[in-house]
Structure 1
Amino acid sequence: MAKSVTSALTLVDWRTRVASLYAAVRAESDPAEGHRLWRETRAELFATHPQSPTSGWDDPRQEIAYWPYDPALRFELPVLAAEPDERDVDGGDDGSVTMQRIGRVELPDPVAGSLDVWWLHQYGGGIFVPLRDGTAGHGSYGAGRYLLDTAKGSWFGGDDEHLVLDLNFAYHPSCRYDDRWRCPLAPAGNTIEARVEAGERL
């Protein structure tokens, strides 16, 4: 079914606001203060915006829960080589999405795990790093969370060889809130055993 003009324009507004939020987080010199800004702005967006994944809830102002900010869980990591892989995932109304593995990162202690780095091969593209950790189903959404999705503006910086990953900004995909959404989920290469008690929680 084709989107209405209103739906299309409110979706553009949602994506613009989310991208602006991450730009403000990057501009903040104190990552913990950036995290506070991120939480508060997301709460307002989720409670009031027509494109919020919680818009169908009886009480869209229901609080989104987070673990406290932990500076030990922010990393700047080299992107290492990985075997090529490609998979198509159901994107719901957006059609199928092709994910191409472009590398991997090694998370140091206290996490100590490997995460694949994906490219979303669609118009505009984007880097995508999902995470399914030991809290999945026992503190966070069972299918995992997202760390980076640059097609949606989620980006903390890096250069041509490194990514900044701040696990404190892990967030639940929209399908956690409403099954009308179809979300790419964390494959085996983005699953770690450690409990990452940071970011959004149940």
Structure 2
Amino acid sequence: MPSISSALTLADWRARVASLYEAVRAAADPAEGHRAWREGRADLFAHHPQSPTAGDPELRERGVDYWPYDPTLRFTLEIEPADADERDVDGGDDGSVTLHRVGLVRLPEPLGGTLDVWWLHQYGGGLFVPMRDGTAGDGSYGAGRYLLDTAKGAWLGGDEQNLVLDLNFAYHPSCRYDDRWRCPLAPAGNTIAARVEAGERM
């Protein structure tokens, strides 16, 4: 069980991250929303006690790197049916995390490929879309990045059948920065060959 201090600061971290995505959705222009998201993340990484970069003072001061915003990498995609799949992954101190596949999305050319859309059983539920692309290990974290984790407020929009995915919001899981974190990583159905030079980079 976390300490009282740890529990409170983690709750505050999640609330602040959710507020960042609220600001993104409220922005008149996606690029402006992306700028606000980057600035907010930089502040959290530099100052918050739950920052995954807390053990790396140099990175905490310098901040993480991003590719420039590319408006052509924002899509509204239909969620198509996919065979049922369920998997349990190690969540470290949070225990096992159960993922249920609810469908998939097809990325348009020239990217191509598909990404599975998962539902998180924990945290009261939420959509989860990780991605491991051609930059993995050569520009981004080798185990992949996250596009959506709505349990933490990362919702860019959608409706009953469609999902907004903006690849510029791809970010590294906390385990990229600190081994004490255990993160669900991108499975085979969330791997594409194309290089997505957008979002957070090494």
Give the alignment's TM-score, normalised by structure 2: 0.98
**Pairing 1:201–2:198 present:** no
Alignment of 1:94-113 (within 5 A): 94-113=94-113
Distance 2:152 2:191 in 1: 22
Q: In structure 2, how many angstroms separate the alpha carbons of the residues matched to 1:105 and 1:72?
A: 17
Show structure 2 runs of 5+ residues with no match: none
Q: Distance in 2 between matches of 1:142 and 1:159?
A: 32
Extract unaligned runs of 5+ from structure 1. Answer: none
2:132 counterpart residue number: 132
8 Å CA contact 2:123–2:151 kept in 1: the answer is: no
- Inter-partner Cα distance in structure 2 for 1:197 and 1:155: 21
The amino acid of 1:110's aligned partner reads P
The whole-number CA distance in structure 2 between the counterparts of 1:156 and 1:179 is 29
Q: Deviations over 1:15-35 (max 9, x none)?
A: 000000000001101000111
The answer on whether the counterparts of 2:45 and 2:63 sit within 8 Å (CA) in structure 1 is no
What's 2:162 paired with? Answer: 162
Deviations 1:110-154 (A, max 9, x none): 311100000011241110000000000000000000000001111
TM-score, normalization by structure 1: 0.98
Match of 2:38 in 1: 39
CA distance in 1, matches of 2:115, 2:17: 24
The residue type paired with residue 111 of structure 1 is L
CA contact (8 A) 2:17 2:152 kept: yes
Structure 2 residue aligned with 1:185: 185
Q: What is the CA-CA distance between 1:58 and the residue it aligns to?
A: 2.6
Deviation at 1:187, TM superposition (A): 0.2
Amino acid at match of 1:85: D
Q: How far apart are the structure 2 equivalents of 1:125 and 1:62? A: 34
Separation in 1, partners of 2:29, 2:201: 22
